[in-house]
């Protein structure tokens, strides 16, 4: 259930550029979700464009391009479920989002450009996603988009949440504290008194 919010300076993107960027960024979302190129996987891939009015985006104390490198100022917030990406996955997303924007805006992804394309990955704590009026988890997202939970990626997710469950238990957190995969929470041992 990834979401990208692309903020850009007014006048930087016309409709054609937005369409091209949305297609490329949707491909990035599908790839980062483990290749869930299914109808349900695409239904979870949201791209939002937010135009920032002229004079409301300042870099280095200037509202012009004094400190902005080509292809321009972009701030992309990528919202993903907690525990779904390790450091390598995050680096891949940073590079892929930047490349998609640079290619649409300048036709290349050459070195030395894109220093003003900032990508921030925001992780939503397990249990805080909701759709259709229901709380959804990484388990249910994988089921919805048709990704197997037997692969390496989901083994990593389980390992992450099992470690988190052990940490919560050792700190004496209540069993129903939330923020854990149901499968990890159900195997959690009560704290030793």
Query: Crossing angle of helices 87-106/15-32, nearest 10°?
Result: 160
Answer whether residue 104 is part of any domain. yes
Answer whether residue 64 is part of any domain. yes
The total number of structural domains that make up the chain: 2
Residues 119 and 80 in one domain: yes
**From the centroid of its chain, how far is CA 14?**
24
Q: What are the tens digits of pLDDT across the range 77-112?
A: 999 888 888 899 999 999 999 999 999 998 655 555
Residues 180 and 97 in one domain: no
Answer whether residue 136 is part of any domain. no
Taking alpha carbons only, the member of 103, 122, 123 closest to residue 113 is 103
Residues 115 and 166 in one domain: no
Mean of pLDDT values over 154-171: 86
Among residues of the chain, what percentage have pLDDT more than 90?
39
**From the centroid of its chain, how far is CA 143?**
19
The CATH number that applies at residue 65 is 3.30.429.10
Q: Which tokens is 126 given?
A: 């397990």
Q: What are the tens digits of pLDDT across the range 118-141?
A: 999 999 988 888 888 988 888 777
Q: Is 190 in contact with 166 (CB distance < 8 Å)?
A: no
Mean of pLDDT values over 159-187: 80
Q: Coil, strand, or helix at residue 54?
A: coil
pTM for the whole structure: 0.84
Question: Can you give 77-136 as a three-state secondary structure string?
Answer: EEEEECCCCCHHHHHHHHHHHHHHHHHHHHCCCCCCCCCCEEEEEEEECCCCEEECCEEE
Residues 89 and 123 in one domain: yes
**From the centroid of its chain, how far is CA 56?**
25
Between CA 154 and CA 150 the distance in angstroms is 7
Between CA 19 and CA 10 the distance in angstroms is 16
Residues 72 and 122 in one domain: yes
Residue 53 pLDDT grade (very low, low, confident, very high; cuts 50, 70, 90): very high
Residue 40 pLDDT grade (very low, low, confident, very high; cuts 50, 70, 90): confident
Structural domain span for residue 44: 3-129
Residues 119 and 154 in one domain: no
Residue 13 has pLDDT above 90, yes or no: yes
């Amino acid at each position: 259930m990834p979401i990208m919010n692309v903020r850009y300076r007014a006048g930087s993107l016309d409709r054609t550029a937005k369409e091209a960027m949305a297609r490329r960024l949707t491909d990035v979302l599908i790839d980062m979700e483990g290749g869930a190129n299914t109808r349900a996987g695409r239904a979870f891939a949201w791209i939002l464009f937010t135009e920032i009015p002229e004079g409301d985006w300042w870099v280095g104390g200037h509202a012009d391009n004094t400190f902005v490198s080509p292809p321009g100022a972009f701030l992309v917030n990528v919202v993903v479920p907690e525990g779904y990406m390790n450091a390598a996955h995050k680096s891949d997303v940073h590079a892929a989002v930047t490349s998609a924007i640079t290619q649409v805006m300048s036709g290349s992804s050459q070195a030395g450009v894109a220093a003003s394309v900032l990508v921030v990955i925001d992780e939503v704590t397990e249990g805080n996603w909701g759709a259709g009026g229901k709380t959804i988890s990484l388990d249910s997202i994988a089921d919805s988009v048709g990704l197997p939970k037997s692969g390496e990626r989901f083994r990593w997710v389980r390992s992450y949440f099992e470690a988190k469950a052990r940490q919560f238990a050792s700190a004496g957190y209540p069993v129903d504290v939330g923020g854990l995969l149901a499968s990890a929470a159900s195997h959690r041992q009560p704290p030793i008194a």
